[in-house]
């Protein structure tokens, strides 16, 4: 405990200087002391804390108003629907921003401490928390123009005048602005009229999303207070949205700055002091090596990092029918400590980011994904590069349709589409880490171009709201893609959560057994169970011939009798012969080894 306080003080002084840092330390200690008095149940010691991760951990990602019912606030509908729908096999729910907002489907927050009154209230959130571990969003890179903080900024009130970044664009050279990493093509500096005259504020994402100024210690302390409120309201995981852009400094790229990492370390220390069970999850849609920097040294930053390379690289794998690139990349995956793991996902409320493919695929290979997305009814979002050119940044498409052409019809085509999609999701479920499943993937949803026409935003194609009654009717109809995907997905999750070899920290060995089959071995922490996971990513049958020497540390007897827990078949082979299998198109085998 004493060491944590020393680290906290040192970090604050490093970021803000000795005088401000020392004063900030005193204020944070008072903040945490008050929290512990009010929330003693959260303040367990590390020794008494729950198991950090488990093979039982599976997270559903959903909007608060995702499933709707006439005459009922949607958060109440969610709290009533999800326990029966997914409760038997999913233990965690990530509710995307449920706060009052003005744009970007919740990511332009008006009030961090309130629930959107059109959706429900805090009791509805807490009711959901009675059944699931909850993940809350901390959208703390920026706030809405309509937020109270920004309104007081425009009135030139203290301390709010320092909560946002005021910039004189005439003092920023074109070279400095070109150096700044941008995920959008919109202007970086937005003019606003204030009581002190015209000012320009920093807007990384949009004119309605005003970047917060973490040079203000008052702002940072306010954010820490918000995080503690989320803990008090039941958050078991806190997702730090767009956190890589947190600290701005002209003359730099303004992403992944050292002080960004130091501020995350302070957040981690504060949570360790008062709520060690709560996990930080960083969201940084950037190339892989930049992304994993948010693990820190393995004990001082995020416990989970979004695995952003997985969705586009898996898309490429199924688009080409080759597992070679995915195999090469997956072999490099390694969390730095047992306190950390990847937050694996295949689809999200956003599109399929392309920046994580930098250094893995060449422009022609990435363009193949762009072309398939457009051919399958999807859209492409672009970013502005330092030289003024634009390049594809994100593919906007439902993941099912990214893999499958919506124009294909007929029972046979539909069956293969479901097989292909389920094979991709099986890869998600078997990789080391905690899987996050977007609600539209679990429910086998298709593109929603009508929504794009309504909003004018590409991402709406993947954000359709659903009517509770219609969802249940479709799930009851065995001929629908929704029912087939849901049932098969549920079965895979149930298999995963019953196997100790799928613990997020269980050993993982990526294998090269066939260029069209993504293969890996998972071994439980106590080495009592092994699973050999095979995923045919092609539309053709694929042979697999396995000798024990091909799999590290595998006993000679392990392949004499294996059971496919997905298909239920048992395979045997003589002691002196290799195990020979044939995978049908898009077949998944999870083999329990003797």
Cα distances from 43 to residues 3, 54, 394, in angstroms, run 17, 21, 41
Show the tokens assigned to 49: 């804390």
**Pairing state between β 434-438 and 466-467:** unpaired
- What is the distance between the alpha carbons of residues 112 and 110, in angstroms, rounded to a whole number? 7
> Beta partners for 546?
579
- CA dihedral (147, 153, 158, 161) in degrees, to 10, reads 120
E strands in 203-340? 209-211, 235-240, 279-282, 304-306
**Token representation of residue 475:** 């799930």
Please report which helix (H) or strand (E) contains residue 313, including its range. Answer: helix 310-320
C-beta atoms surrounding 56 within 10 Å: 16
DSSP per-residue letters across 24-90 = HHHHHHHHHHHHHHH-GGG---TTTSPPS--TT--EEEE-TTSEEBTTB-HHHHHHHHHHHHTTTT-
Q: How far apart are CA 525 and CA 522, in angstroms?
A: 9
Could you give the residue numbers annotated as active site? 241
- DSSP code per residue over 477-505: -TTSHHHHHHHHHHHHHHHHHT-GGGSTT
The candidate with the shortest Cα–Cα distance to 232, out of 121, 377, 122, 360, is 122
Q: Counting Cβ atoms within 10 Å, is residue 299 exposed (0-12), middle (13-18) or buried (19+)?
A: middle
CA–CA gap between residue 266 and residue 272 (Å, rounded): 10
Q: For the chain, what's the residue count?
A: 594
Q: Which residues are within 8 A (CB) of 419 and not within 5 positions of it... i.e. 6 or more apart?
A: 585, 586, 587
Q: How far is CA 144 from CA 137, 175, 248, in A?
A: 15, 28, 18
Other beta carbons less than 10 A from residue 65's beta carbon: 21
Sheet of 530-536, strand order? 507-514, 517-523, 530-536, 588-592, 561-564, 570-572
User: What letters, b where the CB count within 10 A reaches 16 and e where it falls short, cover 380-390?
Assistant: bbebbeeeeee
Give CA–CA dist 381/391, Å, rounded: 9
């Amino acid at each position: 405990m004493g060491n944590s306080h020393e680290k906290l003080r040192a970090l604050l002084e490093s970021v803000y200087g000795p005088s401000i840092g020392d004063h900030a330390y005193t204020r944070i200690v008072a903040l945490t002391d008050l929290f512990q008095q009010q929330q003693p149940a959260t303040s367990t010691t590390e020794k008494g804390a729950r198991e950090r991760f488990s093979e039982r951990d599976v997270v559903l990602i959903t909007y608060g108003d995702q499933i709707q019912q006439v005459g009922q606030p949607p958060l109440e509908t969610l709290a009533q629907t999800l326990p029966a729908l997914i409760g038997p096999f999913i233990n965690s729910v990530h509710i995307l921003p449920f706060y009052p907002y003005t744009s970007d489907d919740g990511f332009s927050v008006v009030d961090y401490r309130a629930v959107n009154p059109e959706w429900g209230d805090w009791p509805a959130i807490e009711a959901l928390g009675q059944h699931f571990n909850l993940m809350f969003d901390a959208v703390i890179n920026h706030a809405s123009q309509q937020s109270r903080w920004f309104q007081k900024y425009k009135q030139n009130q203290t301390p709010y005048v320092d909560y946002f970044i005021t910039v004189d664009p005439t003092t920023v050279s074109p070279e400095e602005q070109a150096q700044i990493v941008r995920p959008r093509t919109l202007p970086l500096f937005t003019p606003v009229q204030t009581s002190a005259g015209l000012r320009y504020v920093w807007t990384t994402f949009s004119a309605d999303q005003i970047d917060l100024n973490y040079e203000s210690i008052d702002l940072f302390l306010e954010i820490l207070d918000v995080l503690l409120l989320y803990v008090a309201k039941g958050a078991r995981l806190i997702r730090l949205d767009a956190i890589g852009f947190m600290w701005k400094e002209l003359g730099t790229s303004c992403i992944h700055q050292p002080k960004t990492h130091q501020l995350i370390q302070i957040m981690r220390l504060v949570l360790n002091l008062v709520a060690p069970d709560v996990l930080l999850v960083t969201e940084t849609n950037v190339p892989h090596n930049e992304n994993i920097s948010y693990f820190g040294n393995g004990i001082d930053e995020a416990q989970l990092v979004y695995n952003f390379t997985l969705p586009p690289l898996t898309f490429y794998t199924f688009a080409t029918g080759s597992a070679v690139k995915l195999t090469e990349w997956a072999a490099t995956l390694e969390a730095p400590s047992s306190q950390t793991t990847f937050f694996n996902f295949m689809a999200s409320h956003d599109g399929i980011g392309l920046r994580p493919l930098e250094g893995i695929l060449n422009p022609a290979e990435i363009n193949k994904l762009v072309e398939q997305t457009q051919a399958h009814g999807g859209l492409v979002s672009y970013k502005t590069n330092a030289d003024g050119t634009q390049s594809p940044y994100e593919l906007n498409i439902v993941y099912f349709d990214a893999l499958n052409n919506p124009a294909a019809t007929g029972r046979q085509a539909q069956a293969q589409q479901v097989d292909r999609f389920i094979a991709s999701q099986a890869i998600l479920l078997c990789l080391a880490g905690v899987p996050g499943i977007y609600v539209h993937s679990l429910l086998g949803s298709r593109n929603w171009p009508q929504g794009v026409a309504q909003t004018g935003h590409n991402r709406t194609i993947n954000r359709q709201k659903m009517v509770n009654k219609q969802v249940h009717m479709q799930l009851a109809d065995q001929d629908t893609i929704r029912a087939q995907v849901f049932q098969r997905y549920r079965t895979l999750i149930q298999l995963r959560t019953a196997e100790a070899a799928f613990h997020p920290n269980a050993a993982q060995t990526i294998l090269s057994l066939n260029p069209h089959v993504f293969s890996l071995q998972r071994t439980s922490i106590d080495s009592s169970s092994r699973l050999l996971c095979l995923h045919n990513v092609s539309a053709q049958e694929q042979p697999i011939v396995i000798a024990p020497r091909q799999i590290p540390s595998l006993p000679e007897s392990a392949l004499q009798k294996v059971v496919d827990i997905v298909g239920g078949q048992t395979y045997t082979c003589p002691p002196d012969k290799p195990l020979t299998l044939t995978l049908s198109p898009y077949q998944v085998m999870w083999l329990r080894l003797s």
